Amino acid sequence: MTTPAYSPGLEGVIAGETAIGTVEGGLSYRGYFVGDLVEHASFDETAYLLLHGELPTAAQLAAFRERVAAARRLPPPLKDLLAALPKWTAPLDALRTSVSALAHFDQDASDLSHDANVRKAERLLAQIPVAIADHYHLSRGGNPLPARQELDTAANFLYMIRGTDPSPEEVKALDVSLILYAEHEFNASTFAARVIASTLSDLHCAVTGAIGALKGPLHGGANEKVVDILTAAGDTPEAVEKWVRDALARKERIMGFGHRVYKTGDVRAGILKTFARKVADAAGTAGIEDRADVIERVMAAEKNMYPNLDWPAGRLYHAMRLEIPLYTPIFAMSRITGWAAHVIEQLDHNRLIRPRALYTGPARRPVTPIGERG
* 96 membership: H or E segment, kind and range: helix 91-102
DSSP-based three-state secondary structure for 294: helix
Spell out the residues 6+ positions from residue 284 whose beta carbon is closer than 8 angstroms to its own: none
Q: Which of 259, 266, 318, 342 is catalytic?
A: 259
Spell out the residues 6+ positions from residue 139 whose beta carbon is closer than 8 angstroms to its own: 82, 85, 87, 89, 91, 94
For residue 85, the 8-state DSSP code is: S
Note whether 336 and 128 are within 8 A (CB): yes
Cα–Cα separations (whole angstroms), residue 149 to 163, 229, 365: 14, 38, 66
Phi then psi dihedrals of residue 34, to 5 deg: -60, -35
Whether 165 is catalytic: no
Whether 114 is catalytic: no
Phi then psi dihedrals of residue 257, to 5 deg: -125, 145
Which of 71-109 are b and which e, b meaning 16 or more Cβ less than 10 Å from the residue's Cβ? bbbbeeebbebbeebeeeeebbbbbbbbbebbbeebebb
- Give the separation between CA 10 and CA 194, rounded to whole angstroms: 15
* 136 membership: H or E segment, kind and range: helix 114-138
For residue 10, how far is the Cα from the chain centroid? 21
Note whether 215 and 361 are within 8 A (CB): no
Q: Which of 93, 204, 310, 318 is catalytic?
A: 310
Determine the length of the chain. 374
Active site residues: 259, 310
